[in-house]
Chain A
Amino acid sequence: MADPQKILDGLGGDENIIDLEPCITRLRVEVEDAAAVSEATLKAAGAIAVMQQGTVVQVIVGPEADTIAADIEDLR
């Protein structure tokens, strides 16, 4: 499973996240600063893929997305 703390880091940290919700296999995230998102960090954290359109980021993590999102919420 992807590492929740590293995912959070790859998204630019708690303060950069406006909204984060899981959807079965992915995290849908709206961020403040698109440039603070690191695809390399997210992939190193265990993400299968990262799709970013401006401040909307989809982190593909597989079917454990719900658990990872809950863990990230616990870290925030």
Chain B
Amino acid sequence: MTSPLTVLAPVSGTVIAMSDVPDPVFAAELVGPGLAIEPDAQDGSTVRSPIDGTIVKLHPHAFVVQAADGRGVLVHLGINTVQLEGEGFTLHAAEGDAVTAGQTLITWDIAAIAATERSTTCPVVALDAQADAVDRTAAVGSNAGDGTTLLTWGA
């Protein structure tokens, strides 16, 4: 049995249920269970690593950090943001980097992305996790900030 993995809020904002994410794949938790955050217009522009681990995938608009035990957490910044091709996103880390929870990985221009009429909602997914393995520690509607525990995986 693996030890519980604490997943911190990668952006500051309001916690929302995954089922309310305006994307059918995330909403149905097809790639894993989790929660989403509607980022704060100002404080939400800094994107932090949710766990200690290695960046195994890094796009301007989304990334996966894998813990030493192999579990991966996906953070997606906004919906349909792949179409922006990096416009409005600044990377502060590289694929393959070892990172610590809370470390700044990306900054993004939320107002500019909202102006493209895309949702800025950020799904945080426990990749390939069993639905009952993830405890949604943060309450829907609560405010998540730097250091807030969002999910507890495998508790």
**Which of B's residues lie within 8 Å of A, judged by CB?**
24-25, 28, 30-31, 56-57, 59, 62, 64, 72, 74, 76, 82, 127-128
Contact = CB atoms under 8 A, between A and B. Distances in A.
Contacts of A62: 31, 127-128
Contacts of B59: 23-24
Given A23-B62, A24-B64, A49-B30, A63 B74 contact: yes
Interface size class of A (residues with CB under 8 A): 10 to 19
Interface of A: 21, 23-26, 28, 48-49, 51, 58, 60, 62-63, 66
Given A60-B31, A62-B127, 9 more contacts: A24-B76, A25-B25, A25-B31, A58-B25, A62-B31, A63-B31, A63-B64, A63-B72, A63-B74
B36 to A, nearest CB: 15
Instruction: Please provide the 3 A-B residue pairs with the shortest distance between their CB atoms, ordered closest to farther.
Output: A23-B82, A25-B31, A24-B62
27 contacts: A21-B82, A23-B62, A23-B82, A24-B57, A24-B62, A24-B64, A24-B74, A24-B76, A24-B82, A25-B31, A25-B127, A26-B25, A48-B30, A48-B31, A49-B25, A49-B28, A51-B24, A60-B25, A60-B31, A62-B128, A63-B31, A63-B56, A63-B57, A63-B64, A63-B72, A63-B74, A66-B57
